[in-house]
Homo-oligomer: A and B are copies of this chain.
Amino acid sequence: MIFTVQVKVMPLKELLDPQGKAVMGGLQNLGLKSVSDVRIGKNISLQVEADSPDKAKQIAEDASKKLLANPVMEYFEISVN
């Protein structure tokens, strides 16, 4: 069976996110003053062939650790649809 797995990779909360800061500046300039913080990460959608959702999640976790996320700067969250 094929599962769609979403991996959310975000910059660690302790770190500055200059890309997010730049976008926040842009939003303020556009008049959207009610946005007080912006952080930008990646969303990776994987099609995974596996026997069960748990297996699919395990494969996605393996992929995240090996390639998708850099643990020095990022954390990841996995959800299986």
Contacts and interface: CB of A to CB of B under 8 A. Distances in A.
Copy total for this chain: 2
A62 B32 CA distance: 9
Contacts of A35: 46-49, 59, 63
A16 interface: no
A54 interface: no
Nearest to A38: B46
A64 to B, nearest CB: 10
A73 interface: no
A37 B4 CA distance: 9
Interface of A: 2, 8-10, 20, 23, 26-27, 30, 32, 34-50, 59, 62-63, 66-68
